[in-house]
Amino acid sequence: MDLKSLLQSHLEKQEKQKDSQGNSPRSSDLHEGISAEESADKLFEKYYCEWKGINKGLAGGSGGSSFSVIPKFYHKLPPDDDQLLQKLREESRAVFLQRKSRELLDNDELKNLWMLLDKHQSLTQLGGEEQMINYEDFLKVAQQAGPKCKQYFQPSTFCKLLQNDPHGRISIMNFFNYVMRKVWLHQTRIGLSLYDVTGQGYLRESDLENYILELIPTLPQLDGLEKSFHSFYVCTAVRKFFFFLDPMRTGQIKIQDILACSFLDDLLELRDEELPKDQQQNNWFSAPSALRVYGVYLNLDKDHNGMLSKEELSRYGMGTLTPVFIDRVFQECLTYDGEMDYKTYLDFVLALENQKEPQALHYFFRILDIDNRGYLNVFTLNYFFRSIQEQMRQHNQEPVNFEDVKDEIYDMVKPADPCKIMLQDLINCGQGDVVSSILIDLNGFWTYENREVLVADSNEEPAQV
């Protein structure tokens, strides 16, 4: 029996005792028409509020405070068909971002800050060639630099930049680089937020495509790209962001995650007109890299229909990817009438070129997990390795015993469950890329099988030279 029922039965017993003693009901009760059930409700409410520590005015909704005074913390997005509210929201966000942009330091203010720091540097006779500043002069610069700089001159900032200087000073260059980095991050966040159509702090694929498309004219290293290739370049660049920052394929990336990764640094590195060729080759966003990836795609497309079939994709790299792996790629990844488009191909390339990364391991694990159980077992490993054995026979090589390979894989991974290899096990062991290569690529398996010979050859090479 609950508390309310107990209170009601208690009141009924009291009424019966009053009737047996000949006592008449109170006039107030008769006048107000209060029944035992209503009295029980009031007592239940009283005791419950006392027990929970709830103000009676809040609980009852009458008298004193009420829920109406709680500030509204959630505002629904205006409906798509309400153009007036949509326009109002768009304009208000633009005004807000403009105000935030005006709060940032411009070039003249940054130059003035550097002059103040240089003026208040510590005396050179204290030792060292690097420009340093102590905390007392740090505070003097903060007073002279103006209100915009106040946020950078915090005691916590000074402590974080303080290293092993015996005089308790920090490097002026390190502090100025910190300020520059903060200003750049805020500028970039504002720039990305202008493309955030929903205003929810994330970018969809189309939003990021618009951002990079309008960024191309500001990157001198991309001046040589033909305009007809711009759409393919944008697709190539955007795909890297989504492959690494959206592994669950939600179709959106937080602006905060974009700022936290190094991809924007790599992209904006293309502003350097004298960027060395080796850095361009290693930069996914450079023109040579984008042309290389797209050129391989065109070479694989033998029938020139703009799509890749299983047979065409099997020629990727050295042509040693197993047929079973290629079949699973086409089963798990988005295709059109059984053929792969350029966007899906980019995910494929990013996974193979970054096999050590957790996102790439997530990609391979989804393909290797043939039953979608969330783990790999002995049957799964054997299913993929049989294709490796078949390729070895085709190359007139003696197939390796699966039991030996299975034991080596489990020794490398050391899974928490001895019968199941989870995705996290592959990530934690640091050998997930080796395991995936052994199962999907004959060349990867051959490299692993002959690792000792290859290491010996690499050690002998300097002596031969």
pLDDT digits (tens, 9 = 90+) for 328-348: 999 999 999 999 999 999 999
CA-wise closest residue to 240 among 353, 367, 373, 389: 353
Measured in whole angstroms, the distance separating CA 133 from the mean position of its chain's CA atoms is: 37
Q: Which residues, other chains included, contact 55 with Cβ-Cβ below 8 Å and sequence gap of 6+?
A: 49, 64, 65
Report angle CA 342, 346, 349 to the nearest 5 degrees.
130
CA distances from 267 to 12, 241, 264, 454 (A): 79, 11, 5, 35
* pLDDT attached to residue 379: 95
The residue behind tokens 């993929």 is: 384
Residue where the block lists tokens 């996290």: 424
Residue (of 447, 259, 423, 258) closest to 357 by Cα position:
423
Name residue 123's amino acid.
L
Query: What stretch of H or E contains 254?
Result: strand 252-254
Instruction: Taking residues 274-281, report their average pLDDT.
Output: 87
The pLDDT score that the predictor gives to residue 408 is 93
Give the Cα separation of 198 and 192 in Å (integer): 12
Euclidean distance between CA atoms 95 and 90, whole angstroms: 9
Mean pLDDT across the stretch 91-100?
90
DSSP states along 172-202? HHHHHHHHHHHHHHHHHHHHHHTT-SS-SSE
Mean pLDDT over residues 190-217, rounded?
A: 92
Could you give the percent of the chain with pLDDT greater than 90? 62
Q: Is the pLDDT of residue 6 over 60?
A: no
* pLDDT value at residue 7: 55
Rounded mean pLDDT of 405-423? 93
Is pLDDT of 175 > 90?
yes
Q: What average pLDDT is seen over the chain?
A: 85
Specify the amino acid at residue 2.
Answer: D
- At residue 18, the pLDDT reads 57
Cα distances from 315 to residues 169, 298, 300, in angstroms, run: 60, 12, 7
**Please, which pLDDT band fits residue 464 given cuts at 50, 70 and 90?**
very low
First to last CA, the chain: 92
Euclidean distance between CA atoms 186 and 256, whole angstroms: 11
Q: 289-321, pLDDT tens digit by residue?
A: 999 999 999 999 999 999 999 999 999 999 999
**What one-character-per-residue DSSP string does 11-72 give?**
HHHHHHHHHHTTPPPPHHHHHHT--HHHHHHHHHHHHHHHHHT--HHHHHSSSS--GGGSPP
Give pLDDT tens digits for 210-219.
999 999 999 9
* pLDDT class of 27 with cuts at 50, 70, 90: very low
Beta pairing class for 170-171 and 132-133: antiparallel
As a whole number, mean pLDDT of residues 373-400 equals: 92
Residue 239 has pLDDT above 50, yes or no: yes
- Per-residue model confidence (pLDDT) at position 33: 47
Predicted local confidence at residue 9, as pLDDT:
67
317: left (phi over 0), alpha (psi -120 to 50) or beta: left
pLDDT exceeds cutoff 70 at 11: no
What does the alpha-carbon distance between residue 65 and residue 58 come to, in Å, rounded to a whole number? 6
Q: Could you tell me how far CA 396 lies from the centroid of its own chain? A: 46
Give the max Cα distance, the chain: 120
Q: What is the pLDDT of residue 414?
A: 93
Residue 421 β-bridge partners: 376
Tokens 């047979």, residue located: 311
Give the containing element (helix H, strand E) for 390: helix 378-394
Whether residue 463 has pLDDT greater than 80: no
Residue with the bigger pLDDT between 73 and 167: it is: 167
In the numeric block, which tokens belong to residue 112? 């003035």
Which one-letter DSSP state was computed for residue 262?
S
Q: How far apart are CA 181 and CA 186, in angstroms?
A: 9
- Measure the CA–CA gap between 362 and 245, rounded to whole angstroms: 12
State residue 78's pLDDT score: 82
**Residue for token pair 């692993």:** 448
